[in-house]
Structure 1
Amino acid sequence: MEQPIVANTIASVAPLASVELLCRHVCADVLGVPDAVQLISDFADYSCPPFWTMPRACEQRQLQIAKRLVAREVACAVPVDPFHCMSLFNDALGFAVDAVADVDDPSDEGMALVRWLCHDYCPQGYAVLPLRRAASQGKLKVLEWLVEHHVLVIWSDVYANAAASGGHLSVLEWFLSHDVLSSEWINASLEDACSGGHEEVVEWLLAHGAAEFFASLNNAVASGHVNVAKRLVEHFGSDAMSPMIPMLVAAGGNRVDALEWLQGLLPEVMGSESIMDAAGGNGHMEALV
């Protein structure tokens, strides 16, 4: 009869403290038989798959479970594929970034996970998702920490887009000052900032040369951000507009405020069959009126 795999592969994983405590109070004699304590611990330990994975442990802010997962990997006869480990690292670090509340607080659970993942779990992993999460949430100190302490960073304009989408001007300013973006980054960021209605970010991007008018205007109208749409028209001029598309976007999304504004700007377009179809096809009676 084959021996249980658990007994052979995870013997180096220390027994759970809760199991040792239980044995001490319920059956002290068991403590004298280490193998028995180990087997009880292995049976009760939910740090083993499929109950826990590295990303899930970090999502739940369970550093101790994450460490036990690594101990199991080390004890296993079959090594973990390094590329699989890098993939787990990317996802896990993304969740850890989500959990960070204060980079400078030694007791911050999220930062404890971030430090452990970068220094101990997978120093060779690439921080792609984590940087995007940090940018989208405006966590500039986390982003700076990752760049300073985890050298394997792949720069992408996606990070700037995420910051613009979240309205985080300080992050955009950091990216620009560190010269880590391509020459084409600014227009996509303007589109995302307009979708989010972030007027301060839109103003900053326009001042720095953003030139994508049509998609940005449509995004602002589709999201109901009339003030942003007005600022775009003021900046680029109404003569540069393609009048029908914003109308169709507003009608299809039941953006009545945007429709009323566009009607005043382009009265000759209102009442067209295509605009009525766009509103009626989606059941938007307010836009029809």
Structure 2
Amino acid sequence: MEPNLLLQTARVATRYCLPNGHGELPHVMQLLDAYLDSFSASWTIVTAYERTKSLCCVQFVAARELAEVQDPFYKRWLLNRTAEDAARGGDLPAVRWIMESYLPVETVDNVTDVAAANGHLQILQWLYDHHRQRVRFGGVEMCGALEYKNERVVRWLRCHAVPRVECRNDVLRSAAKAGNLDVVQWMCEEFGLDGAAVLKVAVRCCQWETARWIIERFSSTGPLLDMYFAAHHGVLSFMKYMAARELGGFYTGTLVVAAAYGHLDVKWLHQDRGLMLTVDVMKEAAQDGHLNVVKWLFETSSDLCDSSVL
């Protein structure tokens, strides 16, 4: 029977064929459920939640699980996946039922990470209050919260779930990536981590304030840091800062990317850092329509404008 016709049949039966004034008829509802159920034999609770986001549907499927679903390892996987999906969407009632009714004593691995990354503080608080021993706190859940800029969650985790020793470098890296200077300072000053280890991450992710603090706080040695990303975004002040400390690496590609994105920083890169102007620099500026850069390049070196540029 076609799905729409099947549903219409059920609507007619419930509206016109049931007696009035007889209260609830659970046996009739069970028969209607069985009549309409064309999916529970092939669905798992993961499928049910992914497709419907309905706790009632998850409960319906869970009550009709087939024998092969009873394998304990498979059921733990179903528990974890469904809990993660519910936490991702901030669905606290679904998380509560999955944790307390589906497999009420099993550990759940990544639900805190997912809730933190998606900014669902109410789920973290409930897990902390009711199931702290079954989930992981003090791991890398702060990483997702940092990288997705969920500041309230970051503050809560700092108070309730300080990262364990083996997870702190990951948290420091995420803080540098996100430009959360407060957390970078906390990890370095409170736990003695080496901020220089994430300087390259801060520069690559354009977190200039964080990078400056790391440079000032830690004596940075080693290979020069490529200024490609600073040139890409036209952050001349940071390039000058790095040049003054002899920490910045300035290459032909630095000049090319500055021209490609229309930054007149090409003047400084050429005049102060001695980078050579090439036809590729002119070509990049011209094909992206950066007239000011093209004019300056032409005035500085007219032989850059060859047939390939035109």
- Relative distance call for 1:264 and 1:154 in structure 2 (3 A) is closer
Moved more, 84-93 or 132-141: 132-141
Is residue 159 of structure 2 the alignment partner of residue 173 of structure 1? Answer: yes
Is residue 224 of structure 2 the alignment partner of residue 244 of structure 1? Answer: yes
- Relative distance call for 1:183 and 1:78 in structure 2 (3 A) is closer
TM-score normalised over the length of structure 2: 0.64
Is residue 127 of structure 2 the alignment partner of residue 146 of structure 1? Answer: yes
- Relative distance call for 1:126 and 1:46 in structure 2 (3 A) is farther
Q: Tell me the residue number matched to 1:12.
A: none
Q: Tell me the residue number matched to 1:72.
A: 64
Distance in 2, matches of 1:225 and 1:279, equals: 21
Please, which of 258, 262, 267 is the counterpart of residue 239 of structure 2? 262
Distance in 2, matches of 1:246 and 1:44, equals: 63
Do 1:263 and 1:269's aligned partners in 2 also have CA atoms closer than 8 Å?
no
Q: Tell me the residue number matched to 1:133.
A: 114
Distance in 2, matches of 1:125 and 1:279, equals: 57
Task: Please state how far the C-alpha of 1:79 moved relative to its aligned partner.
Answer: 4.7
- Relative distance call for 1:19 and 1:218 in structure 2 (3 A) is farther
Task: Please state how far the C-alpha of 1:235 moved relative to its aligned partner.
Answer: 2.1
Task: Give the total of aligned pairs.
Answer: 245
Do 2:48 and 2:61's aligned partners in 1 also have CA atoms closer than 8 Å?
no
Distance in 2, matches of 1:44 and 1:282, equals: 63
Please, which of 60, 64, 79 is the counterpart of residue 89 of structure 1? 79
Q: Tell me the residue number matched to 2:217.
A: 235
Distance in 1, matches of 2:225 and 2:68, equals: 58
- Relative distance call for 1:141 and 1:23 in structure 2 (3 A) is closer
Distance in 2, matches of 1:158 and 1:270, equals: 32
Distance in 2, matches of 1:42 and 1:72, equals: 11
- Percent of paired sites with the same residue: 24
Do 1:97 and 1:114's aligned partners in 2 also have CA atoms closer than 8 Å?
yes
Task: Please state how far the C-alpha of 1:195 moved relative to its aligned partner.
Answer: 0.9
Please, which of 251, 276, 281 is the counterpart of residue 252 of structure 2? 276
Distance in 2, matches of 1:195 and 1:183, equals: 20
Q: What letter matches 1:209 in structure 2?
A: F
- Relative distance call for 1:264 and 1:209 in structure 2 (3 A) is same
Moved more, 226-235 or 85-94: 226-235
Which protein is bigger by CA-based radius of gyration? Answer: 2
Q: Tell me the residue number matched to 2:142.
A: 160
- Structure with more contact order per residue of length (Cα contacts < 8 Å, sep ≥ 6): 1
Task: Give deviations 1:58-81, integer Å, cap 9, x for gaps.
Answer: 3443011001111211xx354521
Q: Secondary structure at the match of 1:128?
A: coil
Do 1:217 and 1:246's aligned partners in 2 also have CA atoms closer than 8 Å?
no
Q: What letter matches 1:263 in structure 2?
A: K
- Relative distance call for 1:46 and 1:194 in structure 2 (3 A) is farther
Distance in 2, matches of 1:246 and 1:147, equals: 43
TM-score normalised over the length of structure 1: 0.68
Do 1:97 and 1:130's aligned partners in 2 also have CA atoms closer than 8 Å?
yes
- Relative distance call for 1:142 and 1:217 in structure 2 (3 A) is same
Report the aligned-residue RMSD: 3.7
Task: Give deviations 1:177-196, integer Å, cap 9, x for gaps.
Answer: xxxx4324333212101111
Please, which of 76, 96, 119 is the counterpart of residue 100 of structure 2? 119
